[in-house]
Amino acid sequence: MVLGTSGTTAADVIAVARDGARIELSEEALAAVAASRQVIDDLAAKPEPVYGVSTGFGALAVRHISPELRVQLQRNIVRSHAAGMGPRVEREVVRALMFLRLKTLASGRTGVRPLVVRTMAAVLNAGITPVVHEYGSLGCSGDLAPLSHCALTLMGEGEAEGPDGVLRPAGELLAEHGIEPVELREKEGLALLNGTDGMLGMLIMACEDLGRLFTVADVTAALSLEALLGTDRVLAPELHAIRPHPGQAASADNMLRVLAGSGLTGHHQDDAPRVQDAYSVRCAPQVAGAGRDTLAHARLVADRELASAVDNPVVLPDGRVESNGNFHGAPVAYVLDFLAVAVADLASIAERRTDRLLDKNRSHGLPPFLAGDAGVDSGLMIAQYTQAALVSELKRLAVPASVDSIPSSAMQEDHVSMGWSAARKLRTAVDNLTRVLAVELVAATRGIELREGLVPAPASRAVLAAVRRAGVEGPGEDRYLAPDLAAADAFVRSGQLAETVEQVTGPLA
């Protein structure tokens, strides 16, 4: 892809982070970078101190740094700030982090030399991934430690992972790919560290994954409704038109299309009269729809942040170099936390439907725990325990990180966003939501198969066949259950569930 001074999209980030797309720098971007560098060079030649150019950093910004020490200053900020600890973060996170920092450098607002921009692009294109650790960012003044570990690789220091997945000294990997280490000059070390790139990259990838999972949740909710002989009348578009939340209408429409032609829905009066289905069934579009609307807001924030040039100080179009607070991660941190709340609630309502399917007193004729011979067999009893454990953890992960500011840098940085922490826990939450929906899929498909004499919807029949081909076995006597759950999890993660349904229904929202 060609990287310019603006116009980077979420799809671009996904392509680089996950698919290894190569990057080419536009001539426009290189010219803008060169122009802003000239501004920095002119300021560096003057006797007046300029933050980040000829001063220290953070609480040490009061010291004027003489010209002969400025290369050392920039090198030292990278080395000292590369202080992360804990396990390594995922390769896709590091690539997103680096690409988003490169995007801001290419904007022509940071004052780095074209050499720095070219080197960062070369490292990404070579498939070299710096070692970045779990802990080290407070989400203010940028994702400092994570970005510092990336900058360290540009200098040929520290460790990185090669395209073969093997950890090696960064200098060796650069040499192997013909990349010269960079000697940083005025402001360049600071410019490589001052960004919300880590939390933004994780937000973009979470939005991508949740876009698929909300569709999955509509499908599994529809299958559960069908297995419980619920009514699809609550999904009628005219009911959702009088409460015009767009996400709610989209979820209801998805469910209605999955259930089209079902011989199971509407039998809720056959065994024991019930006027209405339980909330976990009847209100599925309202809950999933609210999550969809939350996701839409998060995408709006991500797009705004993508359009931003986050650095301090910045080179303005009129040539002024000004300090600012744009590195504060609050806008991104809030939506990361907001999404974690929506994820926890979506998982919670899915677990309640699973529990209802397994309870003979509420499942309207299904055997206890969907077991073959209840008492001798336990069926899916413990699968629901696993699902409940996941939901419980999701509730803990929904506790906001962004309200937990902790001061740093001798009280200069006295309010921070904790956006990196919010992003890390959201990644875990999205992963666990996938597992929760996979368990509901196992229970709902088994419940449908146990409704002998009633014909499921065409979309449901397609799902049943695909799930069985994927290695998830149907009703019967107890067996080693973990492989079934793992197969269902893989089926959901691969996108096959939505693809299978859409072959019958057409594209779902």
C-alpha 25/C-alpha 477 separation (Å) is 60
Q: 288 with 217: CB under 8 angstroms?
A: yes
C-alpha 179/C-alpha 106 separation (Å) is 19
**Stated length of the chain:** 509
Question: Which residues are tagged catalytic?
Answer: 51
Amino acid 155: pLDDT: 98
pLDDT score of 52 more than 90 = no
- The correct answer on CATH 3.90.1150.10 for the domain covering 2-194 is no
pLDDT 10s digits, 300-335: 999 999 999 999 999 999 999 998 999 999 999 999
Amino acid 93: pLDDT: 98
Over range 291-298, report the average pLDDT: 98
Over range 44-48, report the average pLDDT: 84
The proportion of the chain whose per-residue pLDDT surpasses 90, expressed as a percent, equals 88
Amino acid 273: pLDDT: 62
Region label for 4, one of left (φ > 0), alpha (ψ between -120 and 50) or beta (otherwise): beta
Amino acid 423: pLDDT: 98
Average pLDDT, the chain: 95
* Confidence grade of residue 59 (pLDDT, cut at 50, 70, 90): low
Amino acid 49: pLDDT: 80
DSSP 453: T
Indicate the range of 29-38, 57-66, 415-424, 429-438 predicted with least confidence: 57-66
C-alpha 329/C-alpha 415 separation (Å) is 11
pLDDT 10s digits, 256-287: 999 999 999 987 666 666 778 999 999 999 99
| Domain boundaries along the sequence of the chain | 2-194, 202-402+417-503
pLDDT 10s digits, 134-167: 999 999 888 999 999 999 999 999 999 999 999 9
pLDDT score of 60 more than 70 = no
pLDDT score of 133 more than 80 = yes
| Short-list 501, 387, 402, 403, CA closest to 443 | 387
Amino acid 338: pLDDT: 98
Name the CATH superfamily for 202-402+417-503: Fumarase/aspartase (Central domain) (1.20.200.10)
pLDDT 10s digits, 116-126: 999 999 999 99
| H or E element in which residue 74 lies | helix 70-81
Over range 394-413, report the average pLDDT: 92
Over range 69-94, report the average pLDDT: 95
* Confidence grade of residue 70 (pLDDT, cut at 50, 70, 90): confident
Amino acid 270: pLDDT: 60
* Confidence grade of residue 383 (pLDDT, cut at 50, 70, 90): very high
Amino acid 288: pLDDT: 98
C-alpha 10/C-alpha 300 separation (Å) is 11
Residue carrying structure tokens 């979470």: 206
Region label for 231, one of left (φ > 0), alpha (ψ between -120 and 50) or beta (otherwise): beta
